[in-house]
């Protein structure tokens, strides 16, 4: 049971790190995030 709690804790910790990294990326490179989200949504290259 204790091991499961540790696993969930590490998952939550990873999630927090990922969200923080995405927030920092969005703060420093808003255009990059916009391009990636558009690519993921449409997958249509814009030239």
Q: What is the pLDDT of residues 15-36, one digit of tens each?
A: 999 999 988 877 777 787 788 8
The domain limits of the chain are 2-42
Query: Two tokens at 21?
Result: 């990294």
Mean model confidence pLDDT for the chain? 81
**Per-residue confidence (pLDDT) for residue 6, from 0 to 100:** 84
String of b and e for 10-23 (b: at least 16 CB within 10 Å)? Answer: eeeeeeeeeeeeee
Residues 2-7: what's their mean pLDDT? Answer: 84
Greater confidence (47 vs 18) lies with 18
Residues 1-10: what's their mean pLDDT? Answer: 84
Confidence grade of residue 3 (pLDDT, cut at 50, 70, 90): confident
């Amino acid at each position: 049971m204790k091991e499961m709690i540790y696993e969930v804790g590490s998952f939550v910790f990873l999630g927090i790190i990922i969200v923080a990294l995405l927030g920092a990326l969005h703060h420093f490179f808003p255009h990059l995030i916009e391009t990636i989200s558009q690519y993921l949504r449409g997958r249509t290259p814009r030239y």
